[in-house]
Amino acid sequence: MNVAVRIVEALAEVAGLRLAVERNRLSAVDLGAEAVQIRLIATRLPLPPLLDEAAAVVRPVLVDTEWADVPLRLIVTDVDAAAF
């Protein structure tokens, strides 16, 4: 299974975050040589525990891949109004 698909599936389990989708769900995930970047929208606050949980579900997906040791960047592009 594609690593980006596995990341999307893992993040679906994190309540309070959703992918910042442009075209399709996979467009929110960039698997680069220098970093793995994932664009997210927060639907609740506070952000730090949500991002910790997201990192905790994504890191295991990256184990044994070429991205195992690259930085993980979780980019919150927006906060849903309902979070306030």
DSSP-assigned states of every residue in 8-62: HHHHTT-TTEEE--SSSGGGGEEE-SS-EEEEEEESSS-HHHHHHHHHHHHHHHH
pLDDT given for residue 1 in this prediction: 64
Range of the domain at 36: 3-83
What total of structural domains would you count in the chain? 1
Other Cβ atoms less than 10 A from the Cβ of 6: the count is: 16
Per-residue pLDDT tens digits for 29-67: 999 999 999 999 999 999 999 999 999 999 999 999 999
Q: State the amino acid at position 20 in one-letter form.
A: A
Give the CATH number, domain containing residue 8.
3.30.70
Average pLDDT, the chain: 95
The Cα angle at residue 59 between residues 12 and 70, in degrees rounded to 5: 125
Q: Is the pLDDT of residue 10 over 70?
A: yes
pTM to 2 decimal places:
0.92
